[in-house]
Structure formats: structure tokens, C-alpha cells
Amino acid sequence: MESLIQENVSLKPFNTFGIAVQAKQFVEITKREHLSQLFNEGLFKQDFLVLGGGSNILFTQDYTGLLIKINLKGIGYTIQQNHSFVTAQGGEVWNDLVWYCIDHQFPGLENMALIPGTVGASPVQNIGAYGTELMHVFYSCLAFDTTSGQFVTFYKDDCNFSYRESIFKSKYKNRYIIIEVTYKLDLSATINTSYGAIEKELSNRQIQHPTIKDIAEVVSYIRVEKLPDPSTVGNAGSFFKNPIVPKSTLQRLLIDFPEIVHYKIDEKSYKLAAGWLIEQCGWKGKKQGGAGVWHNQALVLINANQATGQEIFELSSTILNDVYSKFEIQLEREVNIF
């Protein structure tokens, strides 16, 4: 069988930071059987890395293993009682799926409009925005097990979802390749306008009874206003996670920083806004070498001027140190570093 592998391929078009590194070996998967072929050739025994939209990754050096770009396409659905089960292939662009659902009047994904990336990556980090998370609509996924060559189905309870986390990022990191995801959408779901910015923009537009299309449009508008467009300014969305801290830590911080942004999760824990912490350290809109912090959202690091991945990584380390010195809070990177 003909080899699928290309050698020394530039990864610049395949990562939204626009970092110009190379992969020693590169393969584009357009059919499921390609994965079985790679397995039979023993290629999963070496280092490999799976790329969806390349929107949550920072390359700090050339990649010396096999880079696998998932490009499987297709979306379909079935209706069962009051639910629509929408199945999309891993290489579909997430936002295309959102609009497919809106066009078919299936509610549930509209608050996550315009999140960059692919369907296959959506469960890995349990993507979320504007008051909702993927885990609320996830039904199952089909994944290729790179250790056995089998295709395996994972249901929601198998995935250990939590804020920006799943089993595919922890216990099964680098073992399964998600090739297809099924979402279970409640056809009688009500619209979620709980996020302040959505309410505000709906009111600006004088929309009193929003449709799911209105919500997707408003969310897209807010995102474009706040976040840089990767096609013009390299970035990977939020670079850090919002830290979750015990109540005692919040109480300590409130003494010196009474205006600290925080959200209650439960009686014992609170989420802090990492963007606020970084802004308080003076980093919003600042640059270090070719790397920078976005002027409208301090949680987003950017490729300001032909940055190397190393420069962006160094900026992230400086920010981690500064936030720790000021608040004694250890931020964690959300973006995967290679």
C-alpha cells in the first residue's frame, strides 16, 4: 500500500499561533482506514501527535515524531422522541457544526458559536463559553485506540468531564484518537442567556424573545469584539485556565483585593478570573519580544510580531511568576505545549 506519510512539513498553516516549525513526518487522515493502515505499519509505536484545528497548541520547537492531522468530514442526525442525536466526524470545523444545528433548529450549541477548533477536539478539553460546556450536550464519541488498533465508543460517564478537562487529557492522554462525536440535543431546551454580556447585547439589539440564531449571532459578535482573529493575529484563545480555589484562599485575597473577580462554584470552592489577575499585574496589551498579551482580554497571548514558540512560552512563564508573586495563585496553562 502506498505510504501516507509526508516528510519535513511546515506546520505554520496548521497552528493558530502561526508558529513556523516543521514536523519530521506528517499524515492527513481523510478515511478511517488510514488509522488502521498506520497501526499495521507500526507507526503508533513512535512519538505521534494528533492535531485538530491546531487552535490549542503552542509549538516551541520542530516536531520530531509523526504529526497526524484529522480531516474526516460529515454531519448527520437522527431524531428520537424529544431529542436530536447529531453525529459529526472529527475533522469538521466546530463552528460549522454549531450553524448546522441552528439551521436545523436544534438547540444546545449556540452559546459555543465561533469557538475555534474541530469536533474531534471538542470533548478532549470539554470546550465551553458563555454559560455552557460541551459536557452538557455530549452523548458519545468513537475513538481509535492506538495501542490495540480497535475502534472504541465512549459514553458521557466514561469521559470524566470537568472544567476544561476529560479522560482524554489525563489518564488516556495520547492513547485515543477521537474520530466521531455524537451530541444529544434536547429539542425543548430553553435558551440560556444567563451570561451578563449576552443579556447586555440582546438588550442593545432590543431582542426580547431571542431565537438560537440570535444567541449564536450575539455570542459571535461578543467574541469578535473581545478576542483576536487567528487569521490576522496568531493566538490560541485563553492561554491559561481560570483557577479554582478554596473559600479560604478567596477570603485571604479579598482582604487586599476587595474587587477581585470571583464566581461561586459550591460552598467550598470559587473560580477566579485569570484575565483579571493578569491585568492587575500590568500585562494587558504589553509585549515581550515578538509575543504579547491581547489588549482586550489578558487571558489571551498573541503572536504579535513573528514570535517564536519559545518567546510565547517565555512570556507565559513570566506571567505565571508575576501572578504568583502578587496573589500567591499558581495559574495553569490551558494550551498544550510541544
What character string, x for contact with ligand EPU (CB under 6 A) and - otherwise, covers 112-131? -----------------xx-
Q: Which of 244, 273, 320, 329 binds ligand EPU (CB under 6 A)?
A: 273
**C-alpha neighbours within 13 Å on the C-beta side of residue 67:** 26
- Report d(CA 338, CA 159) in Å as an integer: 24
- 284 near ligand EPU (CB under 6 A): yes
Backbone phi and psi for residue 291, each to the nearest 5 degrees, phi listed first? -95, 155
- Name the one range near ligand EPU by CB under 6 A: 1-9, 134-142, 147-155, 233-241: 233-241
146 near ligand EPU, judged by CB under 6 A: no
User: In the bound complex, what is the minimum distance in angstroms from residue 27's beta carbon to ligand EPU?
Assistant: 27
212-226 vs 94-103: helix axis angle to the nearest 10? 150
Do residues 337 and 58 make contact, with C-beta atoms less than 8 angstroms apart? yes
- Please list, in sequence order, all residues whose beta carbon lies within 8 angstroms of the beta carbon of residue 186, skipping any fewer than 6 positions away: 82, 83, 107, 108
Q: Which residues contact 333 (CB under 8 A, 6 or more apart)?
A: 239, 240, 241, 316
Q: Which of 122, 238, 311, 316 is catalytic?
A: 238
> C-alpha cell of 210?
431571542
The residue annotated as part of the active site, out of 164, 201, 217, 223, is 164
Q: At what angle do helices 196-204 and 212-226 cross, to 10 degrees?
A: 110
Q: Which of 15, 193, 297, 316 binds ligand EPU (CB under 6 A)?
A: 297
Whole-number Cα distances in Å, 150 to 192, 195, 235, 318: 39, 41, 35, 43
Rule CB under 6 A: is residue 275 a binding residue for ligand EPU? yes
- 230 near ligand EPU, judged by CB under 6 A: no
Among 34, 69, 136, 241, binds ligand EPU (CB under 6 A): 241
By CB under 6 A, tell whether 168 contacts ligand EPU: no
Among 237, 243, 292, 309, binds ligand EPU (CB under 6 A): 237
Nearest to 236 by CA among 48, 57, 31, 89: 57
Q: Is 238 assigned a catalytic role?
A: yes
Q: Smallest distance, Å, CB 197 to ligand EPU?
A: 6
Catalytic-role residue among 133, 165, 314, 334: 334
Residues near ligand EPU, by CB under 6 A: 129-130, 227, 237-238, 241-242, 261, 273, 275-276, 279, 284, 297-299, 334
As annotated, the active-site residues are 164, 238, 334
